[in-house]
């Protein structure tokens, strides 16, 4: 497995693979790889002939006061995990490679970037869309793999690819959870033992909503207050949002019907955690 830093190097490697008729599968990451990322790599291995993983902590998707400085960067462990998973090449550019000089060209997926996480993280999805557009232009993948855990990110990227006629397919893979239900995330590392215990309440709240819906409750307001009750079992959890929205438009809905995204974000100690479920309701 090769690990390359420059755009020139990765372009050469990709050109060679493409000339050999290989389909390129791409897993963009910010490193600190966990089982969730490995499941994306596994899906990429199954669906393509040549797998590229990028490791790049993208500064343009962090707001002021967010965790970019302390974002975990276990680079050797990450490359080792990639090697063991059968990745063909890791692209790990520097910030200077990706953003030489001041960036003045941005990809802004309007409307879909504004609600949910966009409210408390203004500019976040502009940074995500811009870096993904740049990475897609550099790697020229046939398929790019994203986790359902970042539901809004997936919707933003899918819309960018459609609106800008980018020639690749976005493949969405299921959220990978710990045994107790906590969605895997690089940010789980910030939790101390007590916070880690309370973190199970995120998925418990989502499951509670699912149970209520299965029992015939379709009022968003009631479901949200039920979820809030579960989260408030923890004194440490600070709710940022609990949203019930149309899974395609991200517009809030009062009555559960059709394809619905139930998403939440909380602060728990130093960690900001998100989770969601998507339901198809008659
Ligand atoms: O999900 C992530 O890790 C990041 O948002 C991504 C897609 C790699 C862009 O920096």
pLDDT digits (tens, 9 = 90+) for 23-56: 999 999 999 999 999 999 999 999 999 999 999 9
Which CATH class, in words, describes the domain spanning 186-275? alpha beta
58 within ligand 1 shell (Cβ under 6 A): yes
Pairwise CA distance, residues 111 & 25, whole Å: 29
Pairwise CA distance, residues 227 & 205, whole Å: 5
28 within ligand 1 shell (Cβ under 6 A): yes
Checking phi first, is residue 81 left (phi over 0); if not, alpha (psi -120 to 50) or beta?
alpha
Extract the tokens encoding 97. Answer: 């490679």
220 within ligand 1 shell (Cβ under 6 A): no
Give mean pLDDT, residues 162-188: 98
Is residue 139 within 8 A of residue 52, CB to CB? The reply is yes
Give mean pLDDT, residues 76-90: 98
Residue whose entry in the numeric block shows the structure tokens 């029992």: 215
186 within ligand 1 shell (Cβ under 6 A): no
Report the residue among 29, 59, 139 best suited for mutation to probe ligand 1: largest number of ligand atoms under 8 A from its CB: 29
Domain with CATH 3.40.50.620 in the chain: 2-173
Report the residue among 128, 157, 170 best suited for mutation to probe ligand 1: largest number of ligand atoms under 8 A from its CB: 128
Please tell me the distance between residue 61's alpha carbon and the centre of ligand 1 in angstroms: 9
Strand, coil or helix: 176? coil
Active-site choice (34, 37, 124, 218): 37
The DSSP code sequence of 208-242 is HHHHHHHTT--BHHHHHHHHHHHHTTSSSEEEEEE
55 within ligand 1 shell (Cβ under 6 A): no
106: number of CA atoms within 13 Å, CB side? 14
pLDDT bucket at 67, cuts 50 / 70 / 90: confident
CATH number for the segment(s) 2-173 = 3.40.50.620
For position 202, what pLDDT does the model report?
Answer: 98
Residue 149: DSSP 8-state? T
144 within ligand 1 shell (Cβ under 6 A): no
Domain with CATH 3.30.1300.10 in the chain: 186-275
Pairwise CA distance, residues 244 & 220, whole Å: 6
For position 106, what pLDDT does the model report?
Answer: 98
- CA nearest 67: which of 250, 248, 270? 270
For position 194, what pLDDT does the model report?
Answer: 98
Residue whose entry in the numeric block shows the structure tokens 């438009």: 249
Counting from 1 in the atom list of ligand 1, the atom nearest the Cα of 128 is 9
Please tell me the distance between residue 51's alpha carbon and the centre of ligand 1 in angstroms: 17
CA nearest ligand 1 atom 8, residue: 29
Predicted confidence (pLDDT) per residue in 136-152, tens digit: 999 999 999 999 999 99
Evaluate if residue 132 carries a pLDDT over 90: yes
User: Mean of the per-residue pLDDT values for the chain?
Assistant: 98
Task: Say what percent of the chain tops pLDDT 90.
Answer: 99
Please tell me the distance between residue 87's alpha carbon and the centre of ligand 1 in angstroms: 18
Based on the residue annotation, tell me whether 37 is a catalytic residue of this protein.
yes
Evaluate if residue 223 carries a pLDDT over 90: yes
Please tell me the distance between residue 62's alpha carbon and the centre of ligand 1 in angstroms: 11
Strand, coil or helix: 29? strand
29 within ligand 1 shell (Cβ under 6 A): yes
Please tell me the distance between residue 28's alpha carbon and the centre of ligand 1 in angstroms: 6
133 within ligand 1 shell (Cβ under 6 A): no
Strand, coil or helix: 277? strand
Counting from 1 in the atom list of ligand 1, the atom nearest the Cα of 147 is 1
For position 80, what pLDDT does the model report?
Answer: 98
For position 104, what pLDDT does the model report?
Answer: 97
Give, in order, the Cα–Cα distances in Å from 279 to each of 13, 205, 207.
Answer: 41, 14, 11
For position 112, what pLDDT does the model report?
Answer: 98
Evaluate if residue 282 carries a pLDDT over 90: no
What does the H/E/C string look like for 52-65? EEEECCCHHHCCCC
């Amino acid at each position: 497995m090769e690990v390359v830093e420059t755009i020139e190097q990765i372009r050469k490697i990709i050109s060679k693979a493409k000339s050999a008729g290989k389909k390129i599968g791409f897993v963009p990451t910010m490193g600190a790889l966990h089982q969730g990322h490995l499941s994306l790599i596994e899906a990429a291995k199954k669906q393509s002939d040549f797998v590229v993983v990028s490791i790049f902590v993208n500064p343009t998707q962090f707001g002021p006061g967010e965790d970019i400085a302390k974002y975990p960067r276990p680079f050797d462990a990450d490359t080792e995990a990639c090697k063991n998973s059968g990745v063909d090449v890791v692209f790990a550019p520097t910030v200077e490679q990706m953003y030489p000089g001041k960036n003045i060209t941005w990809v802004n997926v309007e409307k879909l970037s504004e609600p949910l996480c966009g409210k408390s993280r203004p500019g976040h999805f502009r940074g995500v869309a811009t870096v993904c557009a740049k990475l897609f232009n550099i790697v020229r993948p046939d398929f790019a793999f994203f986790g359902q855990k970042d539901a809004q990110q997936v919707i933003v990227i899918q819309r960018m690819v459609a609106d800008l006629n980018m020639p690749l397919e976005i493949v969405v893979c299921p959220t990978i959870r710990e045994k107790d239900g906590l969605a895997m995330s690089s940010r789980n590392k910030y939790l101390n033992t007590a916070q880690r215990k309370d973190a199970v309440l995120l998925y418990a709240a989502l499951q509670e909503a699912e149970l209520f819906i299965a029992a015939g409750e379709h009022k968003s307001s009631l479901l949200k207050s039920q979820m809030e009750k579960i989260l408030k079992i923890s004194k440490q959890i600070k709710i940022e949002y609990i949203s019930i929205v149309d899974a395609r438009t991200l517009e809030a809905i009062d009555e559960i019907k059709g394809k619905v995204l139930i998403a939440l974000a909380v602060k728990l100690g130093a960690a900001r955690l998100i989770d969601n479920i998507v339901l198809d309701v008659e």
